[in-house]
């Protein structure tokens, strides 16, 4: 099981996910908020057999079905803000380091507003909060800032 994030210049970002049984799914997030799900053939993980276009409302409804307790309380309708969950994987240079070491807000303009761990949530973590592999960072900012922060955290 694994995920991969690929910037698509001028388009948005592609997120690839491989399930435990080896099936590859893809989500392409366009700068304008549109999303496309891609389903790949099990015998050829590079061959896309179907795509589904999702409006931002469709994506929110699907996310609610998959994770009935998403991060809420951040109003982004009509604003140029996005909220995303960014996983801290073993490839990240920040596993085991302090949140302040990332200089995330200074470098990207996006803010880490919470850190989710397997057994707990840490809202509004300070610069002395120690990150761990497996954490999920809850990030708020512009599309560009959030993408830059995801690249920073993943070590790209």
Residue 96: the pLDDT is 95
**Domain coverage including residue 6:** 1-67
Strand order in the sheet with 44-54: 2-8, 12-18, 24-30, 35-41, 44-54
Longest dimension (CA), the chain: 47
The residue with tokens 């900012």 is 141
Q: How many structural domains is the chain composed of? A: 2
Angstrom distance (rounded) from CA 7 to CA 24: 18
pLDDT tens, residue by residue, 126-138: 999 999 998 989 9
Are residues 88 and 134 part of one domain?
Answer: yes
Are residues 79 and 139 part of one domain?
Answer: yes
Are residues 25 and 99 part of one domain?
Answer: no
Helix (H, G, I), strand (E, B) or coil at 104: helix
Are residues 58 and 28 part of one domain?
Answer: yes
Q: Kindly write down the DSSP assignment for every residue of 68-92, as one continuous string.
A: SS-------TTSS-EEEEEE--TT-
Q: What is the mean pLDDT of residues 103-130?
A: 92
Angstrom distance (rounded) from CA 9 to CA 3: 19
Percentage of residues in the chain having pLDDT higher than 70 = 87
Between 67 and 92, whose confidence is greater? 92
Are residues 143 and 99 part of one domain?
Answer: yes
Are residues 76 and 56 part of one domain?
Answer: no
Residues comprising the chain, all counted: 156
Using CB atoms within 10 Å of the CB of residue 139, give its burial: 0 to 12 exposed, 13 to 18 middle, 19+ buried: buried
Listed residues 25, 51, 67: the one ending a domain: 67
Residue 131: the pLDDT is 96
pLDDT tens, residue by residue, 11-53: 888 888 888 777 888 988 887 777 889 988 877 767 889 999 9
Helix/strand/coil percent split, the chain, to 5: 20, 40, 40
Are residues 89 and 41 part of one domain?
Answer: no
């Amino acid at each position: 099981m694994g995920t991969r994030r690929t910037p698509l210049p001028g388009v948005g970002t592609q997120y690839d996910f491989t399930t435990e049984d080896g099936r590859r799914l893809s989500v392409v997030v366009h700068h304008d908020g549109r999303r496309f799900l891609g389903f790949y053939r099990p015998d050829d993980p590079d061959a896309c057999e179907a795509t589904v276009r999702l409006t931002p409302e469709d994506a929110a409804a699907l996310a609610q079905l998959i994770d009935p307790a998403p991060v809420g309380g951040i109003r982004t309708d009509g604003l140029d803000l996005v909220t995303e969950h960014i996983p801290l994987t073993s490839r990240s240079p920040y596993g085991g380091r302090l949140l302040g070491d990332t200089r995330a807000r200074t470098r990207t303009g996006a803010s880490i507003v919470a850190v989710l761990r397997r057994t707990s949530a840490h809202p509004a973590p300070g610069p002395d909060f120690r990150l761990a592999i497996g954490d999920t960072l809850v990030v708020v900012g512009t599309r560009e800032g959030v993408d830059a922060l995801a690249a920073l955290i993943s070590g790209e």
